[in-house]
Structure 1
Amino acid sequence: MTEQQPWQWDEETWRGHVARVRAGRSLHPASWPGGARVAVALSFDCDHETIALRAGETGPGKLAQGEYGSRVGARRVLRLLERFGAPASFFMPAVSALLHPEEVRDYVAAGHEVAMHGWIHESNALLEPADERDLALRAADTLEKLSGTRPVGIRTPAWDFSDHTLAITREMGLLYDSSLMADDEPYELLADGEPTGVVEIPVEWIRDDVPYLLLEFDGMLRACPPPREVAGIWRDEFDAALDERGLFQLTMHPQVIGHRSRMAALRELLEHIDAQKGVWYATHAQIAQYVLQQDA
């Protein structure tokens, strides 16, 4: 039997696809801790060498680009966060953590969160459900062993959310996910219309450094905007979140943002944020815990 094309689907079919994972109730709190006007959730995806490895690329050149993220970028990021007293969430593929265990320890020692980001930055949608589950469990075990704490949150590699990801997330008892884009504010995930209790800390490509600053994309070199122009977009995003008393969430990568000119732009952004009154810097786990408490 020939597989139906989407335009041939009946209403039950297309509604079923849409309802599988959906945004539920908003978890935008009436106020943030201490009367803060905005919550700032900085995050860094520590992909490092796994971007090359997951594609089977083992040449020293590609791997060196990834190594830069741990050897140089992550250290710069930690110094900048320390300057502003800003806790952040570091999402690490387990293979990155195994390659750089000292990096994991540095994050923990500085009071940051270490959270899940796959095993080797695999594409979940290409995996069989059993393989996706196995890799998720192995990743959680690895991060727990290296960090001393079981991770409570997940960001799927490349935000690739399969039909089975939410079920695995729930089975593992994770507090939150940070892979989806249905809102600017935290919300509860629904599975086939049913509340799950899992908090979504939404991401967006607008608030990610890769679309703007990754020089090589799909095997081609491209021109990138000046880092300060990118930081200007993020500044506008923050200012709007401040006006709405909402959440400003930002996703970065040490191997991308960690270069000198880009760190200068990030520093200026944090200087702008820090100059405002009523800013609460928090990890993604802290955000999820807080909004659930306020909703209880």
Structure 2
Amino acid sequence: MTDNAPWQWDEATWRGHVEHVRAGRSLAPDAWPQGKRVAVAISFDSDHETPALRDAEVLPGKLAQGEYGARVGVPRILDLLRRHGVPATFFVPAVSALLHDGEVARYAVEGHEVALHGWIHERNTALDRDDERDLMLRAADVLERQAGTRPVGLRTPSWDFSAATLDLVRELGLTYDSSLMADDEPYELLSRGEPTGVVELPVEWIRDDAPYFMMERFGSLRPYTPPREVGRIWCDEFDAARAEGGLFQLTLHPHIIGHRSRMVVLAELLEYIAGTGDAWFATHADVVAHVRDAAGVTA
């Protein structure tokens, strides 16, 4: 970074920032498996108590909100996924996995993917490269021990992607990231203009439960959108993805979506999607494997 104000940067400086990590070629395939029109990748960030712990909020109130995700939300979610035969991807901070013994193993046993989501939901951009690397490696080791397979994908906590993150993704041999927002469809990440072979499964706040439902007791953050209206937004997103023959990706949190009225909305969404007969439900890793194969990505 330069000490000059942005309007004082020369072209090499502002262009260098933009091109550090960039979207490369689209990896949207011509067809999805099973002759389906649209791919549906449902994911859950099992944060539980880790955002509070990261911020040193260690009193029972905040921690109980996170505990709800593991105690109530996860069982409800797994039951719903089982009833609909839907595989999902669970992005799990390592501290969540260590706090809730058996949860990660249950994900794996029930056929879901387990992927990286930091150590304690840290903010990557607040870390130096060595600390980010150390936490990523330690987290991968924890999830591998508990799930029985090493993670192949990453979602950075809070989608907080540092200047070092992509290099570390490549060092760990991960095949994909799901933290960035440059497209609706899968794409290859570029590092300083060079293709990396790393697939990005893009996220978006529109397709995330947190902006609609989060609540801060002593702040101004309040949930203003009724759950069923959020369901309408997600149905519209799915319908557009289906019309384009693309990807519908959704990011949810057990401690947020796991409440009764919100689970009703999720159940109705899955029923609606399944009822079209056009959807290929897949884990993030399965989507990545398909688009890599279709595009001939070998790196």
Partner residue, 1:219: 219
Partner residue, 1:47: 47
Say which SS state the counterpart of residue 107 (structure 2) adopts. helix
- Offset of residue 169 of structure 1: 0.2
8 Å contact kept, 1:23–1:188: yes
Say which SS state the counterpart of residue 216 (structure 1) adopts. coil
Partner residue, 2:27: 27
Partner residue, 1:128: 128
Partners of 2:34 and 2:226 in 1: CA distance? 36
Relative distance call for 1:224 and 1:170 in structure 2 (3 A) is same
Partner residue, 1:183: 183
8 Å contact kept, 1:215–1:224: no
The C-alpha deviation readout for 1:11-69, integer Å capped at 9, x for no partner, is 00000000000000000000000111000000000000001000001001111100000
Partner residue, 1:278: 278
Partner residue, 1:58: 58
The letter of the residue matching 1:55 is: D
Partners of 2:131 and 2:16 in 1: CA distance? 24
8 Å contact kept, 2:117–2:155: yes
Which consecutive residues of structure 1, in runs of 5 or more, have no partner in the other structure?
A: none
Partner residue, 1:243: 243
Counting only pairs closer than 5 Å after superposition, residues 1-296 of structure 1 correspond to structure 2 as 3-216=3-216, 219-296=219-296
8 Å contact kept, 2:212–2:223: no
Relative distance call for 1:217 and 1:207 in structure 2 (3 A) is farther
Partners of 1:93 and 1:252 in 2: CA distance? 14
Partners of 2:172 and 2:217 in 1: CA distance? 34
Partners of 1:217 and 1:167 in 2: CA distance? 38
Say which SS state the counterpart of residue 220 (structure 1) adopts. coil
The C-alpha deviation readout for 1:128-174, integer Å capped at 9, x for no partner, is 10000000000000100111110000000000000000000000000
Partners of 1:3 and 1:221 in 2: CA distance? 33
Provide the aligned C-alpha RMSD in A.
Answer: 1.1
Q: TM-score, normalised by structure 1?
A: 0.98
Partners of 1:153 and 1:45 in 2: CA distance? 13
Partners of 2:180 and 2:148 in 1: CA distance? 28
Which consecutive residues of structure 2, in runs of 5 or more, have no partner in the other structure?
A: none
8 Å contact kept, 2:213–2:222: no
Partners of 1:185 and 1:64 in 2: CA distance? 36
Partners of 2:258 and 2:224 in 1: CA distance? 15
The C-alpha deviation readout for 1:174-228, integer Å capped at 9, x for no partner, is 0100000000000000000000000000000000000001122883352431111
Say which SS state the counterpart of residue 149 (structure 2) adopts. coil
Moved over 6 A (4+): none
- The percent of aligned pairs where both chains have the same amino acid is 66
8 Å contact kept, 1:214–1:224: no
Say which SS state the counterpart of residue 55 (structure 2) adopts. coil
Partners of 2:119 and 2:102 in 1: CA distance? 18
